[in-house]
Homo-oligomer: A and B are copies of this chain.
């Protein structure tokens, strides 16, 4: 008995699949970011971490991972690299010896100030090929989808709620 043939599969079906488009768009977005920010030696992930540390000074790594929705293991090496570049510093928490608190250095605040225009150019470029109205529709739907699918990812975004217990150790 001959083996059953595969159903008709075309690459066009792959190209139109949501998963493929998401992966491809992510590739493109990173590429544009790196191009606009090539003067700064900061990756998109490092940039997001830096912003989050700026917004939440004294945050610890676990809470930071919830705020930016990075895997905690991944974040460890991201933090190491930011520290090696002298953009952040880690100080042990006096009340909990397991925790290391994260702060921007003067250098980190400076690079953030300088890179922001480039990042905004990059973000604009990603959507530039679409008509302004379509950009808004796309971002709106994608925002909804990411939010509604939050729990489907291994590292759900916890945003501000993740910080509720910060400093309430007593």
Q: Which residues of A contact B (CB under 8 A)?
A: 3-4, 6-7, 9-11, 14-33, 35, 44-45, 48, 51-52, 54-55, 67-69, 106, 109-110, 112-113, 116, 122-123, 125-127, 129-130, 134, 137-139, 141-146, 148-150, 152-155, 157, 159-160
Query: Within 8 Å CB of A35, what residues of B?
Result: 152
| Contact residue among B23, B32, B137, B152 (Cβ-Cβ distance under 8 Å from A32) | B152
Most buried by B among A24, A153, A157: A24
Contact B146 A21 (CB under 8 A): yes
What is the CB-to-nearest-CB distance from A75 to chain B, in angstroms, rounded to a whole number? 13
25 contacts between A and B (CB under 8 A): A3-B106, A6-B116, A9-B55, A10-B55, A11-B55, A11-B67, A11-B159, A14-B68, A16-B139, A18-B29, A18-B126, A19-B33, A23-B26, A23-B29, A23-B30, A24-B146, A25-B142, A25-B145, A28-B153, A32-B149, A32-B152, A126-B145, A129-B149, A137-B141, A142-B142
